[in-house]
Amino acid sequence: MPEQVDVLICGSGSAGLCAAVWLARCGVDFKILEQRDGPLQQGQADGVQVRTVEILESLGLSEDLLKEACHVLELTFWTSSGDEGIRRSRRVPDTEMGLSHLPHVILNQARINELMIRDIQRSCGNTNIRYGSRVTDVKVDGQTARDPNAHCVTVKTVENGTEHVYRAKYVLGCDGAHSAVRKSLGFNMVGDSTDAVWAVMDVYPVTDFPDIRKKSVLQTDAGNLVVIPREGEEKVRFYMEMPPGWAAADVTPDNPHLKARLERIFHPYAVAVAETAWFSVYAIGQRLADRFTQDYRVFLTGDACHTHSPKAGQGMNVSLQDGYNIGWKLAAVLCGQARPALLETYVTERQETAKDLIEFDRYFTKLFSSAYRKEHRVSSADFQDYFVKMGRYTAGLAIQYKPSLTVQPGEEDGLAAGVPVGMRFPSAQVVRLFDVRTLQLAKALVSDSRWHLIVFGGHVNDEEARTRLFTVTDNLSEALSKLPLFNRRVHDFLHPILVLKSDRLLLDEKNIPPFYTPKTGRGGVRCHLNVFLDDQTYHDGHGEAYKKYGVDPKVGAMVLVRPDQYVARIFALEDAVGVWRFFEAYLNPTTNGTTSV
């Protein structure tokens, strides 16, 4: 008999595990099939970009990451200086000032996977991973796919030599560049490859090179090399360009020409490899799947639908973000909250992201090529300028999703001019009212499947403004109660956050509407975590949050943020009906029902 499951995840890499974290927390029935015999022990990926760190923070998984990882704070460039060898030509912050409250860090992918697996086990009581499961066939019944409750996807596997059959409502193809799911569906990878070969190695270097513990880009007459410091205090990763004509098979860690090339690149500094912990070779190529979904029941993620070079450290990050995107959407649909049309936005959003990544990587890798720079007269300064300019993109913070069911730019956007609709909500320093803690507002946007409504209420120390806030809040509560899902327990679905521009020392807590301090604790204890002030702090200065967000405190605004921290829409402070209309279109009418406002 086929085994039924709501979501079958094929592959336990970054994308599959991140999606599973969402599903586990939301109580969705899922299983993960992994061809390997056990968890990943040594991943190729190591760079954890800023946006990924933000995601892991929102999931409550960043503490160990930040404690164990190597923090990359500075980027240095080195260029040839004639017979004297290399010299440092430039140093810049690794991440643009003010871009995020979190750093770019380096930690092995296997350890990051372990953090997510541990979280899944905490939510489910077990990992739900079946190791030694090789996918052999995937088919979607196009007729029953129209029925949202149908287990319309059949997946055949071989597990320990025995064929096993699954029937699932949804399947995620997270099984890497050689995806069996993609091949079974007949999807193609479209793109090209080059003859350029790079060696990548994790080594323990004995060297007097001063920037060995910094991210460093070496552009030399002897070749190009990138230094990435690893976690711990000793290990370092080298990405080294090999000369034209070298085949991947020729590049081995014991090849004497490799050692000689390394020495020439670092001259006049001495470098020797005491030990090689890991070594690999890759040829550069960029490919994109021609389709990301079959009937919106099977979805490809990560390397199964986009492959590229590791130069900008995007692979694991974009894959994990694919899983983060599809995970909350599948949970919302399967829990009966959202219309199935929500899943279409995974394809439009992440396919566009993948296309942009391929285009970026294609040009970025060309700039790393000594031959390309020479042929096109690209100077070292030009290369460095582009590298720095694209820092926001490589940090994962340049993505802006296009208009859709959950991204709705409009005339009110100017009310919060510093909050671009379709982009991740930017953070700013605020003071939490009830315990006077200085915090980044982004920390309030936890990934717990709820939507976040950030209400910029302005000043409330005068009676007129106070009356306005209570009226706005009453109207909002009343409008949302017209939706039965909200009426049952609005705070289980919507997370209201109040940000005021008031002098904290003069603020009377009675001026805070109880909607923002709901009785959601044990025995009806009030929650005191949702009210913040843009005000002076005791030790950290003033965050100027209203200024950063472009909100006039005399006018105010409401910003609706999706469960994945992307801005859905900006409303006028008084537009409670607009919020109702947004959710009336989003919520599943068969489980929620609607009532006119």
CATH number at residue 143: 3.50.50.60
Task: Verify that 112 and 250 share a domain, yes or no.
Answer: no
Q: How many residues does the chain have?
A: 597
* 3-state secondary structure at position 302: helix
Task: Verify that 320 and 182 share a domain, yes or no.
Answer: yes
Q: Is residue 395 part of a domain?
A: no
Task: Verify that 186 and 200 share a domain, yes or no.
Answer: no
Task: Verify that 125 and 229 share a domain, yes or no.
Answer: no
Q: Can you give the residue range of the structural domain that contains 311? A: 3-70+104-190+288-365
d(CA 417, CA 548): 9
Q: Across-strand partners of 78?
A: 88, 218
Q: Is residue 83 part of a domain?
A: no
The whole model's pTM is what?
0.95
Q: What HEC string does 63-101 produce?
A: HHHHHHCEEECEEEEEEECHHHCEEEEEEEECCCCCCCC
Residue ending a domain, choose from 285, 302, 334: 285
Task: Verify that 157 and 211 share a domain, yes or no.
Answer: no
* 3-state secondary structure at position 152: coil
d(CA 1, CA 8): 17
Q: Is residue 40 part of a domain?
A: yes
Per-residue confidence band for 198, with pLDDT thresholds at 50, 70 and 90: confident
Q: How many CB atoms lie within 10 A of CB 520?
A: 14
Instruction: Please classify residue 362 by burial: count the beta carbons closer than 10 Å to its beta carbon, then call 0-12 exposed, 13-18 middle and 19+ buried.
Output: middle
d(CA 491, CA 416): 24
Q: What is the total count of domains within the chain?
A: 3
The pLDDT tens digits for 60-108 are: 999 999 999 999 999 999 999 888 899 999 999 999 999 999 999 999 9
Kindly report the CATH number assigned to the domain that includes residue 221: 3.30.9.10
Tokens of 320: 């994990």
Residues catalogued as catalytic: 46, 230, 239, 310
Residue ending a domain, choose from 253, 285, 317: 285
d(CA 282, CA 310): 9
Please say whether the beta carbons of 545 and 441 come within 8 A: yes
Task: Verify that 361 and 477 share a domain, yes or no.
Answer: no
Q: Is residue 595 part of a domain?
A: no
Beta strand pairing call for 494-500 and 531-533: parallel
Average pLDDT in the 48-56 region? 97
Per-residue confidence band for 8, with pLDDT thresholds at 50, 70 and 90: very high
The pLDDT tens digits for 313-358 are: 677 899 999 999 999 999 999 999 999 999 999 999 999 999 999 8
Q: Is residue 87 part of a domain?
A: no
Q: How many CB atoms lie within 10 A of CB 10?
A: 33
CA contacts within 13 A on the Cβ side of 224: 21
Task: Verify that 132 and 175 share a domain, yes or no.
Answer: yes
Q: DSSP secondary-structure letter at 28?
A: -
Kindly report the CATH number assigned to the domain that includes residue 424: 3.40.30.20
Q: How many CB atoms lie within 10 A of CB 389?
A: 10
The pLDDT tens digits for 439-471 are: 999 999 999 999 999 999 999 888 888 999 999
Please say whether the beta carbons of 49 and 317 come within 8 A: yes
Q: Is the pLDDT of residue 509 over 70?
A: yes
Beta strand pairing call for 557-561 and 451-458: antiparallel
Q: What are phi and psi of 2, to 5 degrees?
A: -60, 145
Average pLDDT in the 542-563 region? 97
Task: Verify that 293 and 280 share a domain, yes or no.
Answer: no
Please say whether the beta carbons of 43 and 182 come within 8 A: no
Q: What is the pLDDT of residue 595?
A: 36
Task: Verify that 179 and 218 share a domain, yes or no.
Answer: no
Q: Is residue 27 part of a domain?
A: yes
Q: What is the pLDDT of residue 194?
A: 72
Task: Verify that 129 and 276 share a domain, yes or no.
Answer: no
Residue ending a domain, choose from 285, 319, 334: 285
Q: Is residue 267 part of a domain?
A: yes
Task: Verify that 452 and 479 share a domain, yes or no.
Answer: yes
Query: If you search the block for the tokens 């109660």, which residue do you land on?
Result: 481
Task: Verify that 255 and 136 share a domain, yes or no.
Answer: no
